[in-house]
């Protein structure tokens, strides 16, 4: 898709980071916005930022947890009624995960990450596809991660959810190949967002989470204009894609351990043993 003027664009996780950058970008392109986030205050901030810069932009906001299928279905009905049937859906909402070794992770924490990151994408897709399929052109954009291309220590829950998005999205690409709906899988590198917070993450953020969300979104929208099914951009994205494609797994494991061991607490291993 190239022309978004007057089109209805749905964005989940629009309260900050990449989701907020998407809202600003599509408002600039003349779209009507339907925005979601679980954090009502951050969602209100995004609304105010968009409205201040683009006062003529039509905006509908709804705060709820994307893991709730019924709430997502209700959102889709309200969007169609109040803004118009969706032309673009960006399933962006996600959480960081437990950020612990798997054996130190509570089962409920693992399931929560899957529920938000993966089931949230499934819920958004199921709720809005009936609207997208009726358009002359439409786009479904599922935000995975470079951690959906390579398993990273201390991130088994997050990686599992992002790998699942990848498989789900690639299956849809084939299923909807002969339809007006363009399907995109997006694999951002380390974006400078608030997905992790706290003093214990400062070194991690400084090293890995450096790509401005607005720059990432610009690349994604350009990729959509070129109809690139898979879009990857951001800190470490090229290195990870090359490593996955070229390196033997044993070597890759050793390199990952060397790179990430500073963020792994040896006491966690001792407790497990």
Residue found under tokens 């894609």: 241
Burial pattern 218-253, b for ≥16 Cβ within 10 A else e, equals: ebbbebbeeebebbbbbbbbeebbebeeeeeeeebe
Identify the CATH number of the domain in which residue 253 sits.
3.40.50.720
- Whether 77 is in a domain gets the answer yes
Structure tokens at 45: 């901030």
CA angle 160, 163, 164 (to 5 degrees): 85
Q: How many CA atoms lie within 13 A of 152 on its CB side?
A: 23
User: Is 1 a domain residue?
Assistant: no
Residue range of the domain that includes 264: 8-272
Convert 157-193 to b/e letters by CB count within 10 Å (16 or more is b).
bbbbbbbbbbebbeebbeebeeeebbbbbbbbbbbbb
User: Domain for residue 241, yes or no?
Assistant: yes
Instruction: With respect to residue 2, please indicate whether it lies within any of the assigned structural domains.
Output: no
* pLDDT one digit per residue (tens) for the chain, 273 residues: 889 999 999 999 999 999 999 999 999 999 999 999 999 999 999 999 999 999 999 999 999 999 999 999 999 999 999 999 999 999 999 999 998 888 889 999 999 999 999 999 999 999 999 999 999 999 999 999 999 999 998 899 999 999 999 999 999 999 999 999 999 999 998 765 665 555 455 555 555 566 889 999 999 999 999 999 999 998 888 888 999 999 999 999 999 888 877 776 666 666 655
pTM higher than 0.75 for the full model? yes
Q: Does residue 3 form part of some domain?
A: no
Distance in angstroms (rounded) separating the CA atoms of residues 115 and 95: 10
Total domains present in the chain: 1
Which sequence positions are flagged as catalytic?
158
Give domain status of residue 45, yes or no.
yes
């Amino acid at each position: 898709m190239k022309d978004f003027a007057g089109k209805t664009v749905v964005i989940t996780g629009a309260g900050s980071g990449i989701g907020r950058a998407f809202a600003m970008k599509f408002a600039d392109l003349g779209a009507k916005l339907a925005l979601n986030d679980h954090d009502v205050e951050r969602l209100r901030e995004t609304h105010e930022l968009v409205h201040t810069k683009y006062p003529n932009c039509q905006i509908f906001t709804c705060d709820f947890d994307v893991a709730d299928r019924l709430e997502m279905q209700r959102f889709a009905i309200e969007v169609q009624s109040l803004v118009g049937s969706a032309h673009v859906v960006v399933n962006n909402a996600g959480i960081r995960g437990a950020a612990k070794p798997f054996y130190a992770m509570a089962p409920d924490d693992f399931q929560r990450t899957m529920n938000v990151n993966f089931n949230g994408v499934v819920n958004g897709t199921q709720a809005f596809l009936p609207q997208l399929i009726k358009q002359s052109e439409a786009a479904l954009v599922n935000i995975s991660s470079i951690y959906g291309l390579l398993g990273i220590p201390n991130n088994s829950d997050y990686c599992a959810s992002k790998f699942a998005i990848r498989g789900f999205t690639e299956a849809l690409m084939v299923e909807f190949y002969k339809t007006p709906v363009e399907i995109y899988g997006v694999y951002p590198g380390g974006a400078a967002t608030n997905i992790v917070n706290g003093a214990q993450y400062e070194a991690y953020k400084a090293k890995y989470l450096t790509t401005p969300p607005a720059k990432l979104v610009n690349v994604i929208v350009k990729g959509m204009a070129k109809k690139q099914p898979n879009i990857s951009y951001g800190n470490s994205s090229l290195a990870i894609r090359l490593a996955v494609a070229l390196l033997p797994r044993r070597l890759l494991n050793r390199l990952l351990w060397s790179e990430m061991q500073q963020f792994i607490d040896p006491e966690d291993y001792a407790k497990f043993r």
